Amino acid sequence: MGEQLQGLDIATLLVVHQMVALISTVVILAGAIHAKGRFGLWFWFGSFATTAFFQLLRDNGPTSESPGTAVLMGQYGVLLNATFIALAVKSYLGKPLRWHLISAITLCTAVSLWLLSRFVPESALSLALTLAVAAALTAVALSDLLQAYRRERGFALGFGTFLIALLLGRLFLRGLIAITSADDGTALAVNSTALLIFIAALVMQGFAILMLVNDDLQKKMLALAEYDELTGLLNRRGMANRFKRLLDRARRDGAPQINLAIIDMDHFKTINDRFGHAAGDQVLIELAKRLQTLVRPNDLCVRLGGEEFAVFWTGVPADMAAAMAERIRLAISIRPFQTREGLLRCTISIGLCQMKPVESLDDFIDRADQALYVAKEGGRNKVVVLPA
């Protein structure tokens, strides 16, 4: 096995590594331009670009004839690559970049490396500093991705987390190479193996970025499919998916009481016929906004369709749910709606019931609809509670 490792042509592997880095840089640049920098692609581009540029500068540029300068260029490449990866992960996850702090750390480290190259040549201290800072920045990215993975799961996040862990391991491997470089034969074998790992890591990094972007796009498409375009509230599909989580959380927290209020705008057809659909849409949008301010963050607010809405409350008894429904009815009736046709005074009818221990979502909604029908038949602008 050792002879096979020593037989690897390092010069060829370096060229392969450069070509993979350059191709990946061009591909990510094209993606960043097309996506207008979303998904942290500008930072991912920066990580590939620094890898390609500094390796090219170190091995083929004017610095290649100066060992000390070539080493410094290699250390700058490692440092900037880790910096861009930390920023890319934060940008992708939507976290605060803290780029002032990260940039300050990178700049101070770069200046320190330059000073060490000038006054303490051939010192292991510069290598240790480079690897320590790069490892710290990569560890920040790993921590961010690990938190996201624990919260959301998914193969793409899992693979991205694994990749960042692999990049962190690659930094430790570079330290191992430096330690074992005293033995030329061993150094050749380790360097050959390391270059293979670095090439594989570059390819995997490209795949990880592709999967993360695809996963994010799928989540956005799913969100669009689950939300009502006009009001921004959950639609029926989104309601079904979220209700399962709501029910699981209620049972887990020991608060299984779930109350459902079906809310219907009174005489909405008359509003459309008299003032036009544009005014009707404004009323629906405003009603949705008011409902969101009148419910708790953990409750569900849904547009079922047309002028019909639903609110799910958890952890409250039936009498309290009735009081909350009455508060909504009163808040809607006493404040007119601003539309392009002027102020319109509107009212709502509400049907309310509490979920039975063993009941499907469809049956639950049907019972609340029965209560709403009674409210409509009883003169509208009222809350009717269906007995358990």
- Residues labelled catalytic: 307
* Non-local CB neighbours of 13 within 8 Å, separated by 6+ positions: 192, 195, 196, 199
Neighbour count for residue 236 (Cβ, 10 Å): 14
- Distance, in Å, from the CA atom of 220 to the CA atom of 351, rounded to the nearest integer, reads 33
DSSP label at residue 227: B
Distances (CA, A) of 324 to 234, 259, 289, 296, 335: 20, 11, 16, 11, 17
- Which residue shows structure tokens 């508060």? 327
Neighbour count for residue 277 (Cβ, 10 Å): 10
Q: Specify the pairing of strand 383-385 against strand 348-354.
A: parallel
Neighbour count for residue 104 (Cβ, 10 Å): 11
Contact, 295 vs 241, CB < 8 A?
A: no
Contact, 298 vs 321, CB < 8 A?
A: no
- Distance, in Å, from the CA atom of 317 to the CA atom of 324, rounded to the nearest integer, reads 11
Question: For 200, how many CA atoms within 13 A lie in the half-sphere containing its CB?
Answer: 9
For 224, counting Cβ atoms within 10 Å of its Cβ (0-12 exposed, 13-18 middle, 19+ buried), the class is exposed
Residue closest to 386 by CA, chosen among 342, 348, 354: 354
H or E, element range at 121? none
- Distance, in Å, from the CA atom of 304 to the CA atom of 321, rounded to the nearest integer, reads 20
